[in-house]
């Protein structure tokens, strides 16, 4: 930390008479909120690095490097514009580091944290007046809009919410009607990618000495964490964030829409913008990106598809997480259901992979464990890098541990699909996403995994399980070409799909969108159903052993 400290001291300004604001790790910008509303000379900010929080779960080292580098660069950027900065290192909960500063500096202000986990950490300071919470100015929608759009009570639906906020924001609207005559072009955005147009190469960055020092800290103090650190792919400064966004607008948005759902071994991102980690850190603002995309000359289907991800889905999942208290309170008939909650942070299957408990998983609760489909199997070692023999799974997992990122279809239709077909515990999968992805925080990862990817909350926020056999992966990707299994002949994923429908048929019987697939089960012969079960048992056994599935296992 020597270089960072020295540079921060060089830029220090008189701290007297300032209004002090605590800036959490995911609010690293000055375009909204208290930092935008006052002159720099009136402000002081407190930023806190927290090795204790970083060590509670086996977070990907690239994720840790991204957070620490951006936090330090943000602190220096604020000091350079005349804001007083106090940088602290917390060896325990954030409240323990902030309490003495609140006594010294007076009550601190903070925009309401996005993460439930941090809000709970700070509650004692809020209760005794040492921390004043102001609304988070980075969100695009309100709780009132959510209830008017999605409904006062569940089931909540994103499309109704999205239509309301499109109308009220005016984005892509013409004379009160949606541009192009419809609100969503999702049905048009499902082309596989066969190599044309060429997928853009993501920008590479030149890490300065501050970023390199942050990377060295992660490599040294968090060497036991999984994943790789690649500083050249890590946007750390305000200038880096702007450069990535310029690249995204120039290189990605033109073709984003048609190939939004495509997957390829030749490009991990295709035309996805890769800005979600920066949005979730506050380095880019949602308002800026949706307004700038709306004004582009890119095809309407691409602009609408991007805006639906940010204005629609991102805002929707945040509200669902807040309304359910992190899936701890779910509707059940005329009452409420309270799923069990893990007492400690989950390790995402680390112990099952290594045979050793994660040393930092203590302090504070973990997460809710809804499981509408009664899935209980531990996350297999294939999610940690053991080769499964399934090319789609192995390719995506290797990319995640290399980049701390993959796009949303690989998350939903490869990782979550296979975990659901295998009866993997939804909580274990959610915790794995939380530790493995650079953009994963509780408010976004839990709705995406518990609410959508595994259907663990039933029809709370989605209409059906998002499961498929091999045909979908074959149609939308080139993964199958390099696999030992043929998607049309012997890929086990198809039999896993039929076995899933057979096992879960009673749980899904009332779901109208599952009526047709369940009819297919009725037409399946007893011999085929028996073979489906054998394949399911064989694949689970192999993956539980950490060994590869082979064609000989499926006869």
Residue that the structure tokens 């680390």 belong to: 350
Written as six digits, the tokens of 344 are 């400690």
Q: How many Å apart are CA 255 and CA 520, to the nearest integer?
A: 36
**DSSP strand pairing (330-332 vs 335-337):** antiparallel
Written as six digits, the tokens of 330 are 């779910």
Q: How many Å apart are CA 79 and CA 64, to the nearest integer?
A: 23
Per-residue pLDDT of the chain (555 residues; tens, 9 = 90+): 799 999 999 999 999 999 999 999 999 999 999 999 999 999 999 999 999 999 999 999 999 999 999 999 999 999 999 999 999 999 999 999 999 999 999 999 999 999 999 999 999 999 999 999 999 999 999 999 999 999 999 999 999 999 999 999 999 999 999 999 999 999 888 999 999 999 999 999 999 999 999 999 999 999 999 999 999 999 999 999 999 999 999 999 999 999 999 999 999 999 999 999 999 999 999 999 999 999 999 999 999 999 999 999 999 999 999 999 999 999 876 668 899 999 899 999 999 999 999 997 666 789 999 999 999 999 999 999 999 999 999 999 999 999 999 999 999 999 999 999 999 999 999 999 999 999 999 999 999 999 999 999 999 999 999 999 999 999 999 999 999 999 999 999 999 999 999 999 999 999 999 999 999 999 999 999 999 999 999 999 999 999 999 999 887
- Report how far apart, in Å, the C-alpha atoms of 118 and of each of 94, 125, 207, 432 are: 8, 12, 29, 19
Measure CA 223 to chain center: 23
Q: Helical H runs in 295-441?
A: 300-307, 315-323, 350-354, 391-403, 408-410, 417-421, 426-436
Which phi and psi angles does 424 have, rounded to 5°?
-70, 140
Measure CA 350 to chain center: 19
Residues whose CB is less than 8 angstroms from the CB of residue 314 and which lie 6 or more positions away in sequence, other chains included: 279, 286, 444
Q: Phi-psi category of 13—alpha, beta or left, where left has phi over 0 and alpha has psi -120 to 50?
A: beta
Nearest to 217 by CA among 2, 434, 440: 2
Task: Please name the helix (run of DSSP H) or strand (run of DSSP E) that holds residue 292, with its range, or none.
Answer: helix 286-294
- The model's pTM: 0.97
Is the CB of residue 297 less than 8 Å from the CB of residue 303? no
Please tell me the predicted confidence (pLDDT) of residue 528: 96
Q: Helix (H, G, I), strand (E, B), or coil: what is residue 513? A: helix
- Report how far apart, in Å, the C-alpha atoms of 329 and of each of 79, 156, 211, 339, 341 are: 42, 14, 41, 7, 11
- Report how far apart, in Å, the C-alpha atoms of 220 and of each of 58, 216, 217 are: 15, 6, 5
Q: How many Å apart are CA 68 and CA 224, to the nearest integer?
A: 17
According to DSSP, residue 199 is labeled P
């Amino acid at each position: 930390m020597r270089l960072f400290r020295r540079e921060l001291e060089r830029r220090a300004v008189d701290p007297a008479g300032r209004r002090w604001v605590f800036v959490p790790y995911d609010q690293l910008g000055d375009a909204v909120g208290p930092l935008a509303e006052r002159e720099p000379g009136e402000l002081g900010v407190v930023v806190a690095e927290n090795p204790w929080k970083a060590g509670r779960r086996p977070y990907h080292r690239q994720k840790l490097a991204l957070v620490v580098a951006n936090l330090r660069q943000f602190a220096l950027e604020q000091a350079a514009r005349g804001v007083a900065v106090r940088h602290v290192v917390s060896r325990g909960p954030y409240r323990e580091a902030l309490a003495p500063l609140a006594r010294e500096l007076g009550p601190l202000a903070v925009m309401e944290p996005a993460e439930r986990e941090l809000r709970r950490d700070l509650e004692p300071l809020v209760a005794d007046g040492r921390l004043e919470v102001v609304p988070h100015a980075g969100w695009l929608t309100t709780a009132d809009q959510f209830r008017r759009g999605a409904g006062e009570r569940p089931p909540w639906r994103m499309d109704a919410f999205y239509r309301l906020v499109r109308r009220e924001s005016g984005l892509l609207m013409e004379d009160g009607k949606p541009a192009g005559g419809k609100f969503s072009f999702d049905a048009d955005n499902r082309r596989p990618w066969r190599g044309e147009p060429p997928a853009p190469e993501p920008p590479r960055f030149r890490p300065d000495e501050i970023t390199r020092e942050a990377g060295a800290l992660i490599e040294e103090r968090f060497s036991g964490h999984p994943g790789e650190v690649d500083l050249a792919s890590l946007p750390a400064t305000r200038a880096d964030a702007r450069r990535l966004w310029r690249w995204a607008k120039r290189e990605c948005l033109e073709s984003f829409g048609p190939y939004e759902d495509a997957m390829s071994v030749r490009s991990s991102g295709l035309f996805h913008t890769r800005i979600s980690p920066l949005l979730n850190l506050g380095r880019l603002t949602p308002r800026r990106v949706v307004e700038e995309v709306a004004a582009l000359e890119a095809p309407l289907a691409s602009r609408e598809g991007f805006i639906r991800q940010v204005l629609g889905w991102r805002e929707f999942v945040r509200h669902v997480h807040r309304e359910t208290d992190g899936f701890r309170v779910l509707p059940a008939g005329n009452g409420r259901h309270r799923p069990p909650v893990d007492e400690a942070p989950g390790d995402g299957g680390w112990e099952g992979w290594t045979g050793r408990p994660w040393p930092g998983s203590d302090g504070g609760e973990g997460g809710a464990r809804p499981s509408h489909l009664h899935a209980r199997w531990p996350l297999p070692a294939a999610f940690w890098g053991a080769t499964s023999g399934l090319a789609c799974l192995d390719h995506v997992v290797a990319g995640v541990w290399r980049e701390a990122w993959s796009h949303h279809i690989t998350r939903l239709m490869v990782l979550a699909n296979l975990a659901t077909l295998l009866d993997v515990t939804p909580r274990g999968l959610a915790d794995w996403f939380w530790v493995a992805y650079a953009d994963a925080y509780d408010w976004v990862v839990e709705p995406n995994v518990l609410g959508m990817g595994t259907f663990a909350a039933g029809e709370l926020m989605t209409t059906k399980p998002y499961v498929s056999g091999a045909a979908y992966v074959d149609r939308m990707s080139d993964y199958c070409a390099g696999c030992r299994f043929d998607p049309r002949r012997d890929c086990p994923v198809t039999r896993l799909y039929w076995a899933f429908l057979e096992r879960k048929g009673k749980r899904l019987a009332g779901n109208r969108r599952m009526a047709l697939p369940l009819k297919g089960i009725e037409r399946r012969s007893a011999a085929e159903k028996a073979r489906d079960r054998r394949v399911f048992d064989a694949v689970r056994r192999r993956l539980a052993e950490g060994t590869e599935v082979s064609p000989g296992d499926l006869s």
